[in-house]
Amino acid sequence: MSSNCIRLLRGAWRLASSAGYYAGSIGPVSIDSLIYMNNTQPIINTRLPLRIAISALIALALPCTAEEAQPSSGFYVAPMLNGTRLDDDRAVDDAAAFTFAAGFEVHPDWNIELNLFRGRFDSSIGDDLTMDAAGLNALRVFRRETRLAPYLLVGLGAQRKERNLSGSQTDPYADAGLGLLGAIHRSNEDGRALFLRLDARARYDDTNAGSRVDYLFGLGLQYAFGSGSRPASVQPPAAPPPPPPADEDRDGVLDSADRCPGTPAGKTVDRDGCELDRDSDNDRVPDSTPDVCPNTAPGTRVDARGCDLKSEIELPLVTFDYDSDRLQPQAFVTLDQAVATLRLNPDVRIEVAGHTDGLGSQAYNLGLSQRRAETVRRYLVEKGVTNPLTVHGYGKSEPIADNGTEAGRNRNRRVVLRILP
């Protein structure tokens, strides 16, 4: 038997001796007369009171045979009010009673507790009954760390029954029941906790008289004082961090991904480690933009992509709400690209030309196309474009696709930037 189990048995023996005092049936007995070690097997002194030996051993048998672990020593108290349903043979009325429990968390799954009970029950013939009991319980607690923790309960003890007319009698009893612990407050720092406790048990008593069964239903509070918090597990030391990845030219791009090693200090680079302001064809569009048309001939006017500037800058995603000059969200990406192109060519004169599809009258469409072209011009100016800008609405007079199809009409509804001579 392990030293932990010996210590637990000594604690249980003291509880059992206290129970004996309360019931008035036994006196204190030394645990050393009960247990001694002989090839690690415990020996029970059968000359000691049988009820106390059984109480201590049954309550602790399962925790002591479990896998060795550091036992918890959390102490708690649990006062409870009981409703009762006494055996009919007692010939008394059911009444409220009181239970007080005090115990320890001796294992992550097990509690042992001293249980004291008192109840007074009236008899119709004046033979009133007072019941005082003391015993030892073992509680198998499930899911202790959750807010609702059910448990099973077994217990043994002694019960004194005193009647007004027929005297008193003390007998052993056995409890079997179940219950539920509902967490009201729990501290993760010091282990203190307050629970609502529900308890239902059957008590078997009066074995000399053929056994009677009483049913007890308890409701109360259970308070843990926090000494049962288990020590935190020791974590192994963390492995040293790996050395930082190499970046020989210190441009912020690792050597394994740097396509331009040896970048001079202080240069701004792209994600490939190449200089952002590098312009291999001198068209004022950095290669990292990217330059879609590298190796442009010197002196060629280019757009924001680095390609030859055409006579008309198309704005394919510039669309408007129906029958309105209000830009739709996808238009702004295309317009911002146009802004970049015009900034590269600030001396170019631009006509902002608006067009509609073939639906509706020409007079109405002229006004609508003019308003839409003006909206685009206003956006360009707000973004800092300084080019000379004129606005012209052409209505439906210059279609570029068939107005007889939906796809054709979508293409005809457009705004373009025309480069003026």
Q: Which tens digit of pLDDT belongs to each residue from 73-94?
A: 478 999 999 999 998 888 899 9
- The pLDDT, as a whole number, for residue 233 is 53
Q: Are 373 and 352 within 8 A, CB to CB? A: yes
- pTM confidence score: 0.42
Average model confidence (pLDDT) for the chain?
80
3-17, 135-149, 164-178, 223-237: range with lowest mean pLDDT: 3-17
pLDDT at 149: 93
Tokens of 212: 């009677």
Category of 256 on φ-ψ map: left (φ > 0), alpha (ψ -120 to 50) or beta? alpha
Task: Count the Cβ atoms, other than its own, within 10 Å of residue 170.
Answer: 16
Predicted pLDDT of residue 43 = 36
Q: What domains can be seen in the chain, in order of their start residue? A: 3-224 (2.40.160.20), 312-420 (3.30.1330.60)
pLDDT band at 1 (very low <50, low <70, confident <90, very high): very low
Task: For residues 175-188, give the mean pLDDT.
Answer: 91
β-pair partners for 100: 79, 116
Please state the three-class secondary structure of the chain as a single string.
CCHHHHHHHHHHHHHHHHHHHHHCCCCCCCHHHCCCCECCECCCCCCCCHHHHHHHHHHHHHHHHCCCCCCCCEEEEEEEEEEEECCHHHCCCCCCEEEEEEEEEEECCEEEEEEEEEEEECCCCCCCEEEEEEEEEEEEECCCCCCEEEEEEEEEEEEEEEECCCEEEEEEEEEEEEEEEEEEEECCCCCCEEEEEEEEEEEEECHHHCCEEEEEEEEEEEEECCCCCCCCCCCCCCCCCCCCCCCCCCCCCCCCCCCCCCCCCCCCECCCCCECCCCCCCCCCCCCCCCCCCCCCCCCCECCCCCECCCEEECCCCCECCCCCCECCCHHHHHHHHHHHHHHCCCCEEEEEEECCCCCCHHHHHHHHHHHHHHHHHHHHHCCCCCCEEEEECCCCCCCCCCCCHHHHHHHCEEEEEEEC
Q: Quick check: 18 pLDDT over 60?
A: no
User: Which pLDDT score is estimated for 64?
Assistant: 47
Quick one: average pLDDT of 298-304? Answer: 82
Question: Which of these, 196, 101, 110, lies nearest to 147 by C-alpha position?
Answer: 196
Structure tokens at 316: 């394919």
Pick the most confident of 59-63, 71-75, 189-193, 382-386. Answer: 382-386
Cβ distance 89 to 212 under 8 Å? Answer: yes
* Confidence band for 242, pLDDT divided at 50, 70 and 90: confident
145-149, 205-209, 258-262 — which is least confidently predicted?
A: 205-209
